[in-house]
Structure formats: C-alpha cells, structure tokens
Structure 1
Amino acid sequence: MNRRVVVTGLGICAPNGVGLANFYESMLNGSSGITFHQELADLGFGCQIAGKPEIREGLKESYFTSLQLRGLNSSGVVYGVMAGTDAWKDAGLEKADKDQPDWDSGIIFGTGILGIDKLRESIHLIDNNNARRLGSNSVMQTMASGISAYLGGILGCGNQVTTNSSACATGTEGVIMGMERIRAGKAERMLVGSCNDSGPYIWGGFDAMRILPFNYNDNPQEASRPMSASASGFVPGSGAGAMVLESLSSALERGAKIYAEVLGGAINSGGQRGVGSMTAPNSLAVQKCILEALMDAGVDKSEVDVINGHLTATSKDADEIRNWSEALGRTGVDFPFINTTKGLVGHCLAASGSVECVASLLQYREGLVFGNRNCQDLHPEILALVDASRIPLTTISHTPGIMAKASFGFGDVNACVIFNDYKEK
C-alpha cells in the first residue's frame, strides 16, 4: 500500500507570530521576532538575544483546563499544545468523544529538551526535602513524551501517540514518519510537529560553545544572518509548529482544504564519519538524503522549484548550499529559489523543522516565496554557486511547485521532505 498523503491543517507558535494569521503577516513582511532578553544579560551571557514566542497568560486558558494550568511550568508544552490544537482545528477536525478515542488518528510530536524549568523547580524541592510539593503534573511535564501525551489526551487520538527526538532534524523527521504511517494504511490522520523549551537553561550550552552572535545585543533583529558574509552564529529560538497529515481519500471524503501534498522524504545519518561530527554534517550523507528523498517522491532533481534550507547563519551555510548544488546538479540561475526562516525567528532547535515546514506550506496557500532577511551581503562562496536572483531578499509572487525542505541536526542526522502543490491525478 502506498497511499497519497496531503496536509490539511497547520498550527504555529513562533517568535514572530503566535497563530497562523500573525505568523503569515510577519513572514510576508519580513518581521523579526528576535529580541533582547534582560535575563540573559543578568546571567552574563555573551549572546543576550533570542527568539521566544510571546504568550499572553489569558490565552493559555483557551487550550488548557484549570487543572492542567495548575503548576504548568514548561514552555515547550505550552507552545506544542497551542500549535497542535490549532492545527487540528484548522483541519476542521473535532476532538474525540469522551467515551472512545479516534482510532484512525495519531500523533508524532517531537521535542529536544522538555520541561527544563519544571525539572529545575522539582530538583530544588527535592533537595530541600519538599518532594511532596511536586504536584501531580511534574512527571508529565518533564518526560520526553509529555507533549504527545498532552495532545493525545486533549484530542483523544487512539492511533500511535509518540514523541521523536533528533536534535534540529526532529520536526522534519516527524513529518516523514507520519507520512510513512499513513502511506502504509496504519492511520488516516497524523498530527505531526515539534516543540522546544525556551530560556537560559536551554541556550546556555550554545553560548558556552561560542557559536551564538555576541555583537548584536543592541540590534537584535539584524543578528540572524543566514547565507550572509557577515554571519557570526545562530540566534537561539524556541516555539512549535504542527501539521495535520491525512490520507487523500479521507481528506476528499470530508471535503477538507488541502495545503499541499507530501510526496516523499528520507532520513539518514552521516555516522560522524569523514568530515561529519557531533556538530558538523557529513556532506556525502546530506547529499544522499536529498537524493533519496527525491527518489522516494518520484521526482527528478531538475524539477525542484523551491528549497527551504536549514541554513543557520554559521560557517556551514556555504557548505549546505554546495551540497544542494552538487546533489541537484544545478548552479547559477538554474538553481531553485531558496529561503530560510531563521533570519526572522532564529534557530528554534528541535522546533525548527516544524516551524519552517509551516512557513514553507503557507507559500502554497498564498502563491509566493518568502524573502530572506539580513543577507544583502551574500557569502562569496554562495554567490559562486547561486545567482543572487534565486535568493529573494523580500517576498516574491511565485506559486511553488516541487519544494524540498531539509533539516540537519547535532549527531550528524539529516531529514529531507518533498512537498508539491496538490493536483488531482
């Protein structure tokens, strides 16, 4: 069985927009969600800026019960539940009846580190002989699968409900895993996505590695500079993105709107061999992942029209462009349009792939390709491979055809998914 899979719902909780409408407006206009954080300055961070969704306290009441809100101290859970619930609603789906789960619907919702603030709070209580004050929801906020468990209970999904975790490749990997389950006839619908906590206990390790920009604390919106000659490191971010994947037959039967079709994808690892390491991708594996994704999708490399890259604003951006060029065998004006979301939201870590997939899919709905912020000074190694016209600085009118979205993560892991404008065959 190899059923067609489409996207019927989107949800987003991003630094530059909570909710689809707000996020779309920010992406359209190139509005950044990166801001200065006094907390980071007080803690002596070199990089004192970050991308963090702004959540009004009252808004949480629309997503959580009063019992769930009691002691809720996990930003990742908040972001993920909001994005996942919104995607379900956007797809026109209802929550399952209280007496029986929806056996045809499942969840694969990933994360990197979940509930670290709750864990810190719990450690403090335990160390001070106050373990009994932990509360009934401390476990579910700190277990890795807490986000899928929360969403599974809220929506009543009775199919596979689980959490994946593959560093920065998590969100894109989850889309592929959900697609494969529906393709195989094991589910009709899968809510897929990913989230990541925010705050100094998440971002501190990266600051210590000196891979975050430290010279933009007074000018945060100019700090995230993917593909730029003046890039000086990635800006840490957080949030969540979510998508409802559905079998085409189910979507057509209930008259659902369709954002795009998921044609295929591939997941692999460079094994930390060759030039690959814990923090650097193996170029051979990256190219192999791209080519295997195209093969799985039944697409020729000459057909790729738009790329949404990983492109983190580090020295590896030029290497990534070279990998795309060599894998596709395309250069100059023949290179696909390429953009990256990180110039506006920073690097949302485990949430990055899903946030960027939502941005990519919105381009189909609106018939455009979002621009790239902060790369007016394109890296010379990139310009040697790609004509500048293929890297739009502002949003352009262009309905995407075949689109490749890739993510590469710590541990030398890769994921690439192929989307297409939905067409009846």
Structure 2
Amino acid sequence: MKRVVITGIGAITPIGNNIEEYSKALKEGRSGADYITHFDATKFKSTFACEVKNFNGDEIFGRKEARKMDMFSQYGMVSTEEAIQDSGIDLDAVDLDRVGVIWGSGIGGLRSLEEQIEINSDYDKDPRYNPFMIPKMIVDIVPGQIAIRYGLRGINYGTVSACASSSHAIINAVDNIRLGRADVIISGGSEAAVTRVGIGGFSGMKALSNRNDDPKTASRPFDLDRDGFVLGEGSGTVILEDLEHARKRGAKIYAEVLGGGMTDDAYHITAPHPDGRGAANVMRNALQESKVNTSEIDYINVHGTSTPLGDVAEVKAILEIFKSDAYRLNISSTKSMTGHLLGASGAIEAIACMIGMQEGFVPPTINHFTDDPDIDAQLNLTFNEAQDRKIETVLCNTFGFGGHNTSFVLRKF
C-alpha cells in the first residue's frame, strides 16, 4: 500500500493568521474569543465569537476578485497559498493531472446567502440577485477555486459532514492517493459562519456559550461550568503526498497519515451517544487501520467542544478504548483557544498536532477552573498550560451533527 505523508501546512485562525502566529499562540495558551465585530450582536443571547483578526480580502485579492468569493473561500485560498509555499512543491515540475483538491466545509458561504436574502426580502420589488451568489455559497467552490488558481486538473470535490467535514476530506485524500488516483492532494477545510444567521441559529439550539461577561474564558472543555461552544472561523490546509513522490523531489515531511476511521452514532441529530459508542468505534477503527496499539499514542487532540454532553461522552469513549493507557498520554482540546471552527476544525487541529510534534509540546486545554466529577480527574487533560513532551504519534478526533465521527492517526516522520 502506498504511504501518504504531509509535506506542507497553512492556517488562518482566530489566534493567528499564519503558521508562525498560530504556533506561538498555541504554546502560549491564548484565547481567540472576543465580542463580535462582523455585525451588531448586542441583541443576541451570545455576543462573542472567535473571529479571524486583521484580515482584509480586498488587499489580498483585489476588490474585484474578493467580491466574487465568500469569506470562507478567501480563508481557504490564503491558507492554501501558505501550505503550497511551505511544501516547496514546484507545480511547473509535477503532473498537474495527478494533483487534486478535496476540501471540507460544514456550512459554506452562509454570509453570501444571508446578504442576498436581506437584499431581496421585499417580494413586491424586482429581484436583484448577485450573479455570483451561487458560486459564492456552495461548499465545493473552494476546491474549484484552488484548482483554477493553480491549474490542478486531478480529483476535485468537497466533503460536507458538519464539524467532521475537513477530517473526512483528509481521510478521503489519503485513500485516493493510496488507490493511485493522485500523487498529491491539497486538503483541509474552511468556515466563515460568524454571521447573524450562524450565531442566531446555533444560539437558538442552545449550543453556544452565553458567558457574555467574560468571552475569553467561555470555551472551557471538561470544566464543570462549561455551557456550550464558542463559534470560530478560519481555514487549515495540508499538502498530502505519496511518500515516493515526496522523496523524489526532496520534500521535507511533517508526518505520515497512518490511517483513519469513519463511523456514525446513529443516535440523535445533534447530541452524541451518551456512552460515546460512535466515538469509541471510530477510534478503534482508526487504530486498527493504522496498525497502532493504544500504548503507542502520545497525544489525543479531542473534539472537546465545551458542551455538557459531548465532553463526557468523548472521555467515556477514550477510557473504553485506551483503558489504562489513557492515563499515560496527553489529551487536550485546542477549541478552548480557537473556538469551534465547525467544518474546518479537523484541519486546524491536525496542524496543531504537527506543530506540537515539531516543537515538542502539547497544546493546552485552557480555561479550566473546576473539575467535573463525571470526568476522571486522573486523566492528563493538559489544563491551562502547554506541556513539554516528545510527541511521535497522535490521534485526532472530530465529530459532527448527524452523528458523524472521524478519527485519524498521524506519526512524526
């Protein structure tokens, strides 16, 4: 079987607009949460989010081109440019028929759809829909935009599985390279749902934290007083490559993707199975496909959204699969810093794992104040401060509404 490695990474997140900034913030344990600036949120139950800061698409793309792209596309294009540069790949020297893009987003161009509904809300007036509305909105436009920008003629599509979308994209990309359908696949995910509809919708279903008096401590995975997640936005890109293809061009290699799992809870549209059944199954499948024992995992980057039900269920699943080995590894939720990037979560969290591998530290779960008696206090949940550790092998968990579960194993190369 072909081996698949990661040769480039790029990110734009609420705690850093490139890999260098993101890495520094992860090590410092910095929160990206603050009061919303994208729109007036003062009348909403939740008035804060983890927004990308200091981003101006007009300056990056030019006003004319920027107006053709929703913000989730702009984020995806920026992180992909960084990843391609980081990989050192010379696109003029490779077969572009064998370079593909598989990209994940749970929601896509929500703001673009929202704007057009606002403009055309008066049905007595002539409709004035933007001709770019549909291509700005659809989830699969980002892989299309990336392919057009770089002339990539290989496999190309989008994955949609709520918050598991970019993890599904990465696993699909690995499978397609293993099957010989491509030599290189650009993968990852992007999201830009900090909009009136995004905040209103998630708040209406009581998924968001309402800690409006102290946004920076609102995302508190595993804490007794957690009250929901903090919505985030941004993008993460990984360059996946056939190992031999990477070696031939002398590429630096961050990690090998050993294998992945994909399951469903088959339980509820938004709530996890209370015993973590689907989460346990997906971790078991990922470890089996990777041919990795639980004793070999150094760190689990958990889904850990800071919801009352989800955090407990995931810990139950980890204990079921890892048993005594659960107490010797590190576990952390980087969502405590970035917020929940929905469909982009898996990509930026995998990148956080690789940063930790390279620099020898485990990113923390910040904002822990009070132990939850339903969560085993003997587990090392990496509370509040990064911990120095040599990391060789990690497990990345991402789950989504609809019961979608993904998990994959990365090993330092």
Q: State the secondary structure of the residue aligned to 1:383.
A: coil
Q: Which among 107, 110, 121 is matched to residue 113 of structure 1? A: 107
Deviations 1:114-160 (A, max 9, x none): 222222333345554253x624x333211221111111111211111
Give yes or no for the alignment of 1:365 onto 2:358: yes
Question: What is the match of residue 56 of structure 1?
Answer: 55
How far apart are 1:60 and its partner, in Å?
5.0
**Residue 41 (structure 2) pairs with residue 31 (structure 1):** no
Match of 1:257 among 227, 252, 272: 252
String of CA shifts for 1:38-83, please: whole Å, max 9, x gaps.
Answer: 66664521111101112432x6544x355422x2462111111111
After superposition, the Cα gap between the structure-2 partners of 1:313 and 1:40, relative to the gap in structure 1 and judged at 3 Å, is: farther
Residue 205 (structure 1) aligns with: 201
Q: What are structure 1's unaligned runs of at least 5 residues?
A: none
Distance in 1 between the 2:47 and 2:118 partners? 26
Within 2, Cα distance between the matches of 1:6 and 1:101?
Answer: 18
State the 1:338 CA deviation. Answer: 0.5
CA drift of 1:32 comes to 1.1
**How far apart in 2 are the matches of 1:329 and 1:345?**
29
Instruction: State which of 234, 240, 244 in structure 2 corresponds to 1:245.
Output: 240
Give the counterpart of 1:186 among 181, 184, 187.
181
Q: In the TM superposition, what is the alpha-carbon distance from 1:161 to its structure 2 partner? A: 1.0
Of 132, 135, 142, 1:140 maps to: 135
SS in 2 for 1:26: helix
Aligned match of 1:229: 224
CA gap 1:218/1:73 in 2 versus in 1, 3 angstroms: farther
What is aligned with 1:83? 79
Q: Distance in 2 between matches of 1:293 and 1:235?
A: 28
Correspondent of 1:312 among 305, 321, 324: 305
Deviation string 1:177-198 (CA, Å, 9 cap, x unpaired) is 1111111111111111111123
Query: What is aligned with 1:345?
Result: 338
The residue number in structure 2 matching 1:129 is 126
Report the Cα offset of residue 375 of structure 1. 1.5
CA contact (8 A) 2:177 2:184 kept: yes
Matched position secondary structure for 2:370: coil
Counterpart AA for 2:115: E
Structure 2 Cα separation of the partners of residues 122 and 147 of structure 1 = 20
Task: Return closer, same or farther for 1:39/1:256 CA change in 2, 3 Å cut-off.
Answer: closer
User: Does structure 2 retain, via aligned residues, the 8 Å contact 1:60–1:78?
Assistant: no
User: What is the identity, as a one-letter code, of the residue corresponding to 2:200?
Assistant: G
Scaled by the length of structure 1, the TM-score of the pair is 0.90
Partner Cα distance (2:391, 2:370) in 1: 25
Match of 2:295 among 302, 305, 312: 302
2:375 is paired with a residue whose SS is: helix
The alpha-carbon deviation at position 302 of structure 1 amounts to 2.2
SS in 2 for 1:191: strand
1:6 aligns with 2:1: no
1:377 corresponds to 2:374: no
CA 1:223/1:184 → structure 2, altered by over 3 Å: closer, same or farther? same
State the number of aligned residues.
Answer: 406
CA contact 2:363–2:382 (8 Å) conserved in 1: no
